[in-house]
Structure 1
Amino acid sequence: MLVAYLIMLREGIEAALIVGIIAGYLKQTGRERWMPSVWLGVALALALCVVIGVALNYTSGEFPQRQQEFFEGAVAVAAVAILTSMVFWMKKAARSIKAELQHSVDAALRPGDRQGWALVGMAFLAVGREGLESVFFLLATFQQSVGPGVPVGAALGLLTAVGIGVAITYGGMRLDLRRFFRWTGVFIIFVAAGLLSGALRAFHEAGLWNGLQERAFDLSGILPVDSVLGTLLSGLLGYQDSPAIGEVLAYVVFLVPALILFFTQSRPVRSPRPA
């Protein structure tokens, strides 16, 4: 539940910031009449994401067992790629995203017959990207978790993000976005490592991967995965009480370089002191 909440909170805040920047710029430049086009683009993006998510989830349930395991592994790998690219993209684009969006609004509203539709398309693509990232993450999480915790956490995270977005845009609320995206980025890297480890396990159950299946360790007697703490660590960090060697290697080989790259790129570049 907590993982779904935090992921959807981050994704929702990203989408809310994008819409808020567009709305603020339209108001600042006296073009509020184009806001219905923005909301239409947002609504179309949300509708498309819901349709894709429901279709993929329904289709996976129709597969035979081995094909379903393969599908779960493939979705998990896709979620890892999307979440990781999102973390690094946001870190890189955060400084210039406002200027880029304002430039895109100006370009979309140049005189012509397709002014409104260009703005619809801009909002659709901006929100749709965040929505599809969420769809693949939630699909991967639904397949690895049982119970209502994931959908409830996702819904609460999205509602919180909407409230924060409204407060930032219209209420003057200030949020340290740099620190927020930095630490949620670290959290998402851990989540992605857990998803990748789970994908390898799914591929083994599908009969596609049979190497490195010896047990790396067995903590089931000390910290079973179905205990309260084990469940929390499983959801947050992808913990398993008796993982295979291959699963541990996949986790570590992804996690360590990703964290090093993330923190290395986060360091400000210092200009050399004059002699």
Structure 2
Amino acid sequence: MGNALFIVWRESVEAILIISILLAWIRERGDTRIGVHHLWAGIGGGLALAGFLALTMLGVHGWLAADALDLFQTAIVFAAAGLITHMVLWMRSHGRHMKRELEAGLSRAADSAGGASVAILAAIAVGREGAETVLFLYGLAMEQSGETLARLFAGAGIGFALALATAWVILSGARWLPGRLFFRASEIVLLLLAAALLVSGVERLIDMEWLPPLIEPVWDSSALLADGSTAGGIAAAFAGYRAQPSLMVLIAWLGYWGVIALLGRLQQRAAA
């Protein structure tokens, strides 16, 4: 429930902030060619895109045979990890100037496309965040059932409600929750979630014998923190912790953080 709550919260906040920027820009511009109805049309289009993706995955889920379904679900897990990582890196390089870049791009596009520019940008923003959320929730839900699945979707609903409150606080300019602090803290948690998804995907490939475990297990820390305990379950879901990890899983986990560190350093050099 917790990881679903967090990802929906974080993704929804970003989409809501973009929509708020677009709405403020429309009102300040006062152009009769561009109205709030264009913004709502774009939001509806983005939600439709995310819904279409969800229906497509459900359809594929029922159509594929057992082996192909396992491979498809594994691919979804890796795709979700990749999208979350890309989102964090993109926000790290563009988030500081997102409002200015959006307004400048809108001004240029509005001169040629009018209200369609707002609708398209809103559809892209909502559709991208919605698609990432759908992929992530699908990756979680395919291993859940019954009461656990219900808690997952309850967490998603709570996450969206919290996102509305968080976006309101940030837009209101509250000093106790500055936007930079929010995005930096959420970046760390999102990267931990992506690493956890990567570990899950690698374990799936090992189970399907697409990858060798190499050494299994490398250690056994069950006495300190067992996977089945509450704290161990949280660590597994949010960071990819395993009490008895294989060497292949460790290589993937360490490799992921090595790539993140390298990309972060490259971004810092580019910014400098």
Q: Secondary structure at the match of 1:94?
A: helix
Cα distance between partner residues in 1 of 2:230 and 2:131: 31
- How many positions carry a matched residue from both structures? 267
Q: Is the 8 A contact 1:69 1:205 kept in 2?
A: no
Change in Cα spacing, 1:14 to 1:209, as seen in structure 2 (3 Å) is same
Alignment of 1:80-95 (within 5 A): 80-95=81-96
> Counterpart in 2 of 1:143?
142
Cα distance between partner residues in 1 of 2:241 and 2:94: 32
Alignment of 1:1-275 (within 5 A): 1-31=1-31, 34-110=35-111, 114-146=113-145, 147=148, 148-169=150-171, 171=172, 173=174, 175-212=177-214, 214-259=216-261, 261-262=263-264, 265=267
Bigger shift: residues 30-39 or 81-90: 30-39
| 2:199 aligned partner, one-letter code | S
| 1:158 aligned partner, one-letter code | F
Q: For each residue in 1:185-221, what CA deviation from the matched residue of structure 2 results, as whole angstroms up to 9, or x when unmatched? A: 1111111111111111111223322352522223345
How far off its partner does 1:119 sit? 2.0
Counting aligned pairs with the same residue, the percent is: 27
Cα distance between partner residues in 1 of 2:173 and 2:117: 29
Q: Is the 8 A contact 1:69 1:203 kept in 2?
A: no
Cα distance between partner residues in 2 of 1:60 and 1:244: 29
Change in Cα spacing, 1:224 to 1:65, as seen in structure 2 (3 Å) is farther
Q: Is the 8 A contact 1:79 1:192 kept in 2?
A: yes
Cα distance between partner residues in 2 of 1:124 and 1:15: 10
Q: For each residue in 1:115-140, what CA deviation from the matched residue of structure 2 results, as whole angstroms up to 9, or x when unmatched? A: 22232112111221222222222222
How far off its partner does 1:143 sit? 3.0
Cα distance between partner residues in 1 of 2:187 and 2:20: 21
Change in Cα spacing, 1:64 to 1:121, as seen in structure 2 (3 Å) is same
Cα distance between partner residues in 2 of 1:173 and 1:35: 26
Q: Secondary structure at the match of 2:142?
A: helix
Cα distance between partner residues in 2 of 1:173 and 1:19: 19
How far off its partner does 1:265 sit? 4.7
Q: Give 5+ residue unaligned stretches, structure 1.
A: 271-275
Q: Is the 8 A contact 1:46 1:127 kept in 2?
A: yes
Give the TM-score, by structure 2 length: 0.86
Q: For each residue in 1:229-261, what CA deviation from the matched residue of structure 2 results, as whole angstroms up to 9, or x when unmatched? A: 111111211222222221121111112441464
| 2:122 aligned partner, one-letter code | A
Change in Cα spacing, 1:60 to 1:207, as seen in structure 2 (3 Å) is farther
Change in Cα spacing, 1:140 to 1:213, as seen in structure 2 (3 Å) is farther
| Structure showing the higher helix proportion among its residues | 2
Q: For each residue in 1:38-61, what CA deviation from the matched residue of structure 2 results, as whole angstroms up to 9, or x when unmatched? A: 011011101220221232134224
Q: Give 5+ residue unaligned stretches, structure 2.
A: none
How far off its partner does 1:74 sit? 0.8
How far off its partner does 1:31 sit? 3.9
**RMSD between aligned residues:** 2.6
> Counterpart in 2 of 1:273?
none
Bigger shift: residues 223-232 or 244-253: 223-232
| 2:72 aligned partner, one-letter code | F
